[in-house]
Amino acid sequence: MSKWPKQEDSVDDNSFMSEEERQIEKVHAPIIPEPIYDERPFRAKLIVEVKSEIEKKEEEKTIALELPVWRISPLGIELALDAKSLPYRKFLTKGALVNLIVYPQEDECSFQGVIISSSVKVHDKEIIGIRWHAPSNQEQKSSMYLEKRHHHRWICPSEFLPTGIAHNPLKFNDYIRFQVRDLSLQGMQLTTSLRNRSLIPGMKLEAMFSFPLVGDLTIAFHINNVRITKLNNRNYLTLGVEVLNPDTAYKETIGQYVFQFGSGRTIEDLKKHGLIINSTSKSLDFSYVRSKEDYLDVLKLRRISYGASDSIPPELPIEDTSDLYDSRARIIMGKLHNELVATARILFHNENDELEHEKFITLPENFPRKDEIVEATRVCIHPEYNNNNDLFYLLIRQILMIALQSKRKYIISSTIPSLAKLYEKIGAQMLGVRFLHGDLGDIPHELILLDVQELISGENISPMLWNKLFNEFSDYLLKKNLLALTLKQKIRIHAYKTLTPILKIFKKEIK
């Protein structure tokens, strides 16, 4: 046989091709088929309608011919007729529609195909070529051929495509690599090289998928359809696959990925579609107010947040959520997908300055020096994320970072009663100083104090929460020489880090 053209080549003139090469062109082009030659784990059963005449009456019956597979590709198959099947060759005419079942290993793949070439002799065998049946335009529009996705589909951004790798079940020490183009709760669209020519609809594979900045996950899937698509002027195999038994881990992984890289997706929106979002920690970007537009965005968020808690009238002009302290504060902005969802105001004082809180209270005795503290006020989270503690913890961690960078030991703030437990979980001291906040609708508040170094070293905080918030964060701070730990604090951090593997297992068991 003469050399077959490369995958990307096209054959314009087949006048010099052998009969076998012409058959390969008709059945498989533009893919080079996978040679099987009845030596590897592919079997096929051809369902044939046989007509016979008995006592001048024409009868029709169906028989199943088990035939060796000669060559196969995602587009078609060639079968070898043996001595037992040759008598039925007259029923296998060119252009006839036939039904066949292909068995790659333990899978069963059923097809309807069109006989492209009724018989080509190769050595002592006769080979028939069958192309998987392509539906007409009208058939494609019918519900029979439409891919029925009952769940929302999310397109993967080209710069952050998840990737997958699977063992090729038909070749020793060979691997199939995929890129995920879109995904849903029940399936994915994958692209792969044309070299993976043994992939056919009906096959089942198990692959390890890597989702950027999220993690790795083993996913078993069933190939529903295969087609050729062109990307960047190059042909690829595109697979429509169904995820087999999508579990909690799958919903969490794609939920985190879509939340991280999707456009304009909120947590509530994704949860409505069945995804699970456990963390937003890798999706929040912090910066500071640097322009009038930034400041107006902060005022809008304050009005939304305080309006939702009835601290201010919802229709209050946004200018009324500002005051003189804004002009001397560092205002934090936390953005999620370029949307402002968290903010806080940080004030640095000298020893003789008056704190903002001193408008409403008298500081308790033995209170830290004012030049040792930062004052955090106007702490706001968008109401849509009120049930997402991750955003709150990240905002507090950002305030801790600012305190360390400015060499301040403490953070002073205040909280409403409904959030007191949340602050206590991260080690905040409730000082017992309660007051009505005159700037926020006279809502009851309580003064709180956070010892920055004690908090980051795990004082009064559970090992599980410390590992979530401060494990990697403390490493970063130590590397930057922002922490000067006592021996007791070093021992506690070491103990908490030692527990990390156990806590991960415990967390999975809880889920």
**β-pairing, 373-381 with 410-415?**
parallel
Locate 274 and state its tokens. Answer: 């069945």
- The residue with greater pLDDT, 274 or 120, is 274
Locate 269 and state its tokens. Answer: 């929106």
pLDDT band at residue 299 under the 50/70/90 scheme: very high
Is the entire prediction scored with pTM above 0.85?
no
DSSP assignments along 325-376, one per residue? GGGGSEEEEEEETTEEEEEEEEEE--TTPPPGGGGT-PPPTTPPPGGGEEEE
- State how far the Cα of 208 lies from the Cα of 178, in Å rounded to an integer: 10
- State how far the Cα of 411 lies from the Cα of 349, in Å rounded to an integer: 12
The pLDDT assigned to 437 comes to 92
CA 130-133-138 angle, to 5 degrees, is 160
pLDDT, mean over the chain: 82
The pLDDT assigned to 180 comes to 96
- Check pLDDT > 90 for residue 435: yes
CA 157-240-225 angle, to 5 degrees, is 155
The pLDDT assigned to 134 comes to 53
- State how far the Cα of 257 lies from the Cα of 253, in Å rounded to an integer: 6
The pLDDT assigned to 121 comes to 76
The residues, ordered by sequence, that sit 6+ positions from 211 with a Cβ below 8 Å of its Cβ are 162, 217, 253, 254, 256, 257
**CATH number belonging to domain 154-272:** 2.40.10.220
The pLDDT assigned to 491 comes to 92
Q: What is the DSSP letter of 459?
A: T
> What mean pLDDT do residues 392-420 have?
92
The pLDDT assigned to 55 comes to 45
Distances (CA, A) of 78 to 82, 119, 121, 196, 239: 13, 10, 12, 17, 22
**CATH number belonging to domain 284-456:** 3.40.630.30
In this predicted model, what pLDDT tens digit does every residue of 482-508 receive, in sequence order?
A: 888 899 999 999 998 888 777 665 554
DSSP assignments along 43-96, one per residue? EEEEEEEEEEEETTEEEEEEEEEEEEEEEEETTEEEEEE-TTTGGGGGG--TT-
Locate 463 and state its tokens. Answer: 């090992």
Domain 19-137 matches domain 154-272 at the CATH topology level? yes
- State how far the Cα of 390 lies from the Cα of 413, in Å rounded to an integer: 19
- Check pLDDT > 50 for residue 301: yes
In this predicted model, what pLDDT tens digit does every residue of 361-374 receive, in sequence order?
A: 999 988 999 999 99
Locate 155 and state its tokens. Answer: 């397109």
Whether domain 19-137 has CATH 2.40.10.220: yes
The pLDDT assigned to 370 comes to 94
Cα 413 to chain center, whole Å? 37
| Residue ranges of domains in the chain | 19-137, 154-272, 284-456
DSSP assignments along 461-501, one per residue? S-HHHHHHHHHHHHHHHHHTT-----HHHHHHHHHHHHTHH
> What mean pLDDT do residues 280-292 have?
80
Cβ proximity of 237 and 257 under 8 Å = no
In this predicted model, what pLDDT tens digit does every residue of 137-146 receive, in sequence order?
A: 444 444 333 4
